[in-house]
Every structure is written in C-alpha cells, then in structure tokens.
Amino acid sequence: RFHRGLQELGCASQKVRLLIELFQPSEVVYLCAESENLLSTFDDSKIYVIGGFVDHNAHKGLAYERAKAAGFQHARLPIDKFFTLATRKVLTVCHVFEIISNFCVTNSWATAIEKTVPERKGLEALDGKTDSGADENLESSKL
C-alpha cells in the first residue's frame, strides 16, 4: 500500500512498510514512557523508535503495547533518575528527539533533560541541584 502523503509529494513509488518487515525484533528499541527499562546509552547496532508517533491522549500506552506485542525491546529516558515532574512524564516526539540530541553532545542525561524539558512540566532536580553529576550512578542498561 502507498502512504497518501507520499503520493501527494510525488513519491508514489515509495511503499510504506511495517517496522517488523524491515528489522528483526532484536534490532529495535521502542522509546516509550511506560517501559520499566531505563535507557543509559545508545547501541549503534540498534534502531531507536520514538513511541510518540502512535501515542495520543486517547491511546495512552499504545506504543508500549505495540512494542511488546511485536517482540521489540523497549526503554524510557532516565528522567526520574534525576528529576521529578509536576505533570505526566510523557513528552512530545520533538522533546524526546531533542533530549537524545543533547545527550549525544553532552553525554549527560541530566544536562540533556534539563536543557530540553519545558518549564510547564515543573522539572525539579532530585538532588536539589540544576546540573546533576549523577549520570555515573545510572545503572548500565545498554539497549
């Protein structure tokens, strides 16, 4: 089947394929807020999918459930290791991508999260500091 948006852009020859058709489940890591697995670092051999592409307020947890059903690995950003949030811990796709980008530059989850999460989320450092040096204490769970 063809994706309508691709047809409108003149890319009618591009066929939409499911993730499971393109990669083995062991190669995919879904990033979703509901996962019990904390992401500590990135593995270059994995494909990371930001779960928000399918989540909406009416479909909470959908990405997580789809990841489990497909046999994909899943993980969440380690926000709660460094901070508390006054609101739900679910972030927009853009914020997750920006946190990942900042992490790749700084190699510090605390710094990346603090630089990205909007004020309206009520981010507060667990140790009372703004730049936590606790990244070294994050349990290694390379997914």
Contacts of residue 125, defined as CB under 8 A and 6 or more positions apart, other chains included, come to 82, 83, 110, 114, 132
pTM: predicted TM-score of the whole model, two decimal places = 0.75
The answer to whether the beta carbons of residues 81 and 123 sit under 8 Å apart is: no
Residue 57: predicted pLDDT: 60
CA distance 84 to 7: 44
DSSP label at residue 72? -
Residue 8: predicted pLDDT: 64
Residue 137: predicted pLDDT: 46
Residue 56: predicted pLDDT: 53
Average pLDDT for runs of 10 along the chain of length 143: 56 65 92 92 93 61 86 93 84 91 95 91 76 47 55
Residue 113 CA, distance from chain mean position: 12
For residue 52, give the nearest of 16, 114, 98 by alpha carbon: 98
127 is catalytic: no
CA distance 39 to 37: 6
In which residue are the tokens 């591009």 written?
A: 14
Which residue is catalytic, options 55, 80, 131, 135?
A: 55
Residue 61: predicted pLDDT: 79
Residue 135: predicted pLDDT: 53
Residue 83's φ and ψ, nearest 5 degrees, are: -140, 160
